[in-house]
Amino acid sequence: MSINPNDVPKVTLANGMVVPTMGMGTFGSDRFTPEEVSTAVAGALRSGYRLFDCASVYGNEDLIGKVFEDAFTEGVVKREDIFVMTKVWNDMHRDVRKSCLKSIADLKCDYIDIYYIHWPFPNYHAPFCSVDARNPDSKPFSVEEFLDTYRQIEELVDEGLVKAIGISNMTIPKLEAVLDQLRIPPVVHEMEIHPCFQQQELFDYCVAHHIQPVGFMPVGSPQRPERDIMPEDVADIEQPEMAAIAKAHGIHPAVVALKWAVQRGEIVIPFSTKEKNYISNLRSTLEDPLTEEEMKLISTLEKGNRLVKGHVFLWEGAKDWHDLWDEDGFIVK
C-alpha cells in the first residue's frame, strides 16, 4: 500500500530546501543489476518515495533516468516533486561539469537537486574490485585539489544545473581545512551511520555547522560488497538490543535502525529490492516512534563498526585504512 509523500516527515536544509527524511538508496553493492535497482526505484516512486540517492559510479543512472522519464510522462510526478541526489566519482574531479551533465542526461532530470563530491580525493577504484585493488595514482587528501573540485560544483550552482552541494566521507580535520573557503556552503554530509557506528562527534560537528547528516548504510548494509566485509565487522541488526526493541514494536530490526536514525535527526537512504521492505521502511517514518528509553539504549550500541574502511583508496606510503579517517585529529598525508 502506497504512502502519501506529503505525510513523510521533512527537514529544512540550511538553504531552505525542504527534503523528506527518508530516501531510497540506489547502490546495487555489486550484487544487484542495474535492472533490479531501477525496478526497485520504480516501485519506491509508486510507493511514495520522493528522494533518491544516486551516483555515477553505481552504473545505473541511465535506467533510473528511464524510470523518472516514464513517471514524468505518465504524470505520476512532476520533476519538481522529486529530489535527485547524485555524486561525481573520483576519476572525474578534474572535469566535474562533464560528469554532472552526463548524470543529468542519464537521469533525465534537467538539474540535480544535491550534487556531492563522493569522496574527498581523486583515488579511483573500479566497480567490482577486490579489497586488495590499489591504484598507483592514488594520493592523500589535498586541500587545493578538493577546493578546485568544489569550485567546479559552485559554478554548476551558478548555472542552475545543481541546486545545492553535498559532501561525503569527510572528517572533522578535512572539514576544518576547507569549510571557511567555500563560497556556497554544503547543505548535507553523506556519511556512514548505523547503530554500531554512530559517528557522534562528526554528526554534532555537522549539525553545529548547519550541515544536515545523511546516513548511508543505515541498516548496516548486510549485503555490502565482498571488499567491505571483514571478520571483525558487527551485524547491527543482529544485536540483542535491536532484536528486543523490534519484538516490542512488532517490526524488523532493520526498521528499528531506521526509526532511530530519523528520530536522531538524520536523513536516511536505505536500499532494498523488496517492495515489502522498502514500503515498511518509509512507513516507519510515520508511526509508532521509538521511546526515549529505546533511543537511549541504541545510543549505547556504538562499537566503532566502520564498514566502508576504504582500503581500495589507499595511496603508496599509507599505513593502513585508518589513515583515511584522520583518527588522531589531523589530516594524514
Residue 55 near residue 24, CB atoms below 8 Å: no
| Closest-approach residue to ligand NAP (CB) | 25
Q: Is 115 a catalytic residue?
A: no
Q: Which of 49, 58, 124, 278 is catalytic?
A: 58
Phi and psi torsions of 165, nearest 5°: -115, 140
The CB-of-278 to ligand NAP minimum distance in angstroms stands at 7
Give dist(CA 99, CA 89) in Å, integer: 8
**Amino acid at site 49:** Y
Nearer to ligand NAP, 156 or 217 (CB): 217
Please say which residue, 150 or 271, places its beta carbon nearer to ligand NAP.
271
CB-nearer residue toward ligand NAP: 254 or 290: 254
Q: How far is the CB of 119 from ligand NAP (least distance, A)?
A: 7
CB 49 to ligand NAP: min, Å: 12
> At a CB cut-off of 8 Å and minimum separation 6, what does 135 contact?
123, 124, 125, 312
**In this structure, what is the dihedral angle of CA atoms 105, 58, 171, 218, given to the nearest 10 degrees?**
120
Q: What minimum distance in Å lies between the beta carbon of 144 and ligand NAP? A: 23
Contact yes or no for 173/326 (Cβ under 8 A): yes
Binding-site ranges for ligand NAP (CB under 6 A): 25-27, 29, 53, 118, 168-169, 190, 216-224, 252, 254-255, 269-274, 277, 280-281, 308
Q: Specify the residue, 104 or 255, whose C-beta has the smaller distance to ligand NAP.
A: 255
Q: Which residues contact 161 (CB under 8 A, 6 or more apart)?
A: 100, 101, 104, 111, 112
Active site residues: 58
